Amino acid sequence: MNALNGIQPAEGSVSPHRIRLMPEVLSNKIAAGEVVQRPAAVVKELVENALDAEATRIEVRLQDSGKARILVQDNGVGMSAEDAVMGFKRHATSKIQTVDDLERLETLGFRGEALASIAAVAQVTIRTRRRDNDIGYLVEVHGGKVVRTEPCAMSPGTFVDARNLFYNVPARRNFLKTPATELKRAVMHFQALAISRPAVSFELYHNESRMYHLPAAVSEKEDDQLQERLLGLFKRRVEGDFIRVAQSTSYLSTFGFLGAACFGSKNRRDQFLFVNGRYVHSRLLGHAIASAYEGLLQEREYPFFALFMELDTSHVDVNVHPTKMEVKFDDERGVYSFVKAVCQRAIATGGLFPTIETAGAPITLPVSDLSGRAEENRGEWRSLTDRSPKRFDELTDLLYRPEPQTLTSAPDGDSRPSEHVKDTSLLWQLHDRYVFAQVRTGLLIVDQRAARERILYERSLRSIEAGSGASQQLLFPHTVELDPADFALVQEILPELSSLGFSIDNFGGHTIVMRGIPADVRQGREHEILGDLLRQYQENRSELKIIGRDNVAKSMARHGVGKGGERLSVEAMRMLIDQLFQCKCPYESPYGRATMIKVPFEELDARFMGKV
């Protein structure tokens, strides 16, 4: 009797819903799809195994970006004949015996299915010899089937030859990118693994042409070894291009190097993060490091870094994804704050910033001075904004009202700081990014993007709380097809979006029609603002744990201001400063970046007299 519906199948028939075990060859191919997605993954798995085998010399050779052939040779401890055969069995491992071992992984190539997965989709030959054996052993596997085993003569170590990747899975082979792209990804993994072990010699060849020759570092100190390796990999860099990072606590320690701001890149390719020696990806920590460069890089530029973190393995999970490239922490907020603070301190004290060349000695404004000044100012401003019912006029009086005071009255009779400077020449702009103002006590510098973020954030939050915001209708409604996740997110936060001024209708399926956008959105951003807002919202929620209305307002502030700088008229500069001081928290952006810095006369005089 059929247990699901009580219907007895006809005699001799086979139920189409019969559950059966997959053939081993098929299950191996499916497992291979999780671990071996492209040639770079094979390079990663094989080199990690070599490092775990205590190799001090590793050579990698690729043909046709790895699609035709991948050879990895090492001088590690090697394997016995029995282990060489067993290594191709699924779930075979020498490193995990209990569940506790899985929770405290301290090796790289711990996944037993790595060799089995590679051999399931390639023609693999492995030759290996233990150091205490006189002869080695050869195992050849095609598509998951052992076709040859025999003794062989060779030096101690292991040699793996993987040919014709995905030869038996043509659909997977067709999804590979261009040879240049696949080679770039393989090189990226090679670089990361070489950085992770500076004391190991690495070589990389492509189509018989040597791309890298990296001798083992000779320095004794760990950070000096790392710098040697970085200089060997990135030939155009010199020692002065890197700044050392080192900080330890009882819970977490980190060391490594950050790159100078002038070496910002348009992509994240030159970013290397290691957790307990393992090369990983973490958007959380990538964001923490990038935020330490706030204001120092151009829009959509990314800093170079090679950063190592060490913490108890019980506090980190590397089993998030089969490739072991993603990582999660049990205290993500704490780790984020620690990494950001460490990097900010290194940047502030590392001398990575340009100086202003003058006829005499150069004048340098290090970030430590700027950030310290911002903190001092925040204390003054907070004391006023928190308790004074007339905070706007008092802020103006404290900071930059010229003598005599010049204020105009708004139509409603309220006194507003709309005329802070009598002479319009006392306001000027630098590189379309900073507004300078002559103030009563010295010089005020306003970061116009951070200021706009603060203004737009508070305005957006008020609109959401009130349930209504100004909207500008689009001349031509804009149809947007979203992926299912983004469509679901729009439905989730639609009330907040409507309060901001978005006018959105469902068009069917996962398509929406945008008929209006918030009035604060700058021209030219109409067709991309929603997508940017959704991406920022997801990033805030997953990495910064910001939720609800605050997340929507902050996401709107981050992307509603647009990208890059903007030339401002004198009136626009004055309006920006007025609007900023009318905010509840004018001294920092919603993401914690200082909006302004005050440089008093005393500091300027001291600098020119050489007393600083």
pLDDT at 501 over 60: yes
User: Is the predicted pLDDT of residue 158 greater than 90, yes or no?
Assistant: yes
Pairwise CA distance, residues 74 & 201, whole Å: 10
For the cut 90, the answer to whether the pLDDT of residue 204 exceeds it is: yes
Nearest to 261 by CA among 234, 288, 240, 233: 240
Pick 155 or 488 by higher pLDDT.
Answer: 155
> 173: exposed, middle or buried (C-beta count within 10 Å: 0-12, 13-18, 19+)?
middle
> Would you say residue 305 has pLDDT above 90?
yes
Q: Which phi-psi region, left, alpha or beta, contains residue 536 (left: φ > 0; alpha: ψ -120 to 50)? A: alpha
Between 74 and 582, residue with greater pLDDT: 74
Hey, which residues does 246 pair with through a beta bridge? 255
Q: In this structure, what is the dihedral angle of CA atoms 221, 224, 228, 234, given to the nearest 10 degrees?
A: 140
- The token pair that represents 330 in the structure block: 């049990």
What's the pLDDT score for residue 37? Answer: 86
CB 502 within 8 A of CB 516: yes
Note whether 186 and 62 are within 8 A (CB). Answer: yes
216 has pLDDT over 80: yes
Tens-digit pLDDT profile for residues 51-97? 999 999 999 999 999 999 999 999 999 999 999 998 888 655 555 44
Q: Cis check for the bond before 198: say yes or no (omega within 30 of 0).
A: no
Residue 238 has pLDDT above 80, yes or no: no
* Rounded Cα distance, 70 and 72, in Å: 7
For residue 148, list its beta bridge partners: 140
Measured CA to CA, the distance from residue 604 to residue 283 in angstroms comes to: 40
Q: What pLDDT, on a 0 to 100 scale, did the predictor assign at position 88?
A: 87
Q: What is the DSSP string of 101-151?
A: HHHT---SS--THHHHHHHHSSEEEEEEE-TT-SSEEEEEEETTEEEEEEE
Q: Higher model confidence: residue 354 or residue 461? A: 461
Both tokens assigned to 164: 């014709």
pLDDT digits (tens, 9 = 90+) for 322-356: 555 678 888 888 899 899 999 988 887 775 544 33
Contact between 74 and 55 (Cβ < 8 Å):
yes
b (16+ CB within 10 A) / e for 223-239: bebbbbbbbbbbeebee
Residues 6+ apart with CB under 8 A from 157: 53, 55, 73, 74, 75, 76, 78, 128, 129
Output the DSSP codes for 348-384: HHTT-S--B--SSSPB---HHHHHHHHHHHHHHHHHH
Q: Does 268 have pLDDT greater than 50?
A: yes
Count of Cβ atoms closer than 10 Å to residue 488 Cβ: 11
Residue 23 DSSP one-character state: P
Q: Mean pLDDT lowest for which of 279-283, 296-300, 445-449?
A: 296-300
Per-residue burial over 458-479, b if 16 or more Cβ lie within 10 Å, else e, is: bbbbebbeeeebebeeeeeeee
Residue tagged 């401890």 (tokens):
77
The reported pLDDT for the residue numbered 344 is 87
Nearest to 212 by CA among 201, 198, 226, 225: 201
pLDDT tens, position by position, 92-120:
555 544 545 545 545 565 435 688 889 99
Reported pTM = 0.56
Q: What is the rounded average pLDDT of the residues 426-451?
A: 88
Alpha-carbon span 229 to 584, nearest angstrom:
49
Is the per-residue pLDDT at 505 higher than 80? Answer: yes
Predicted confidence (pLDDT) at residue 320 exceeds the cutoff of 60: no
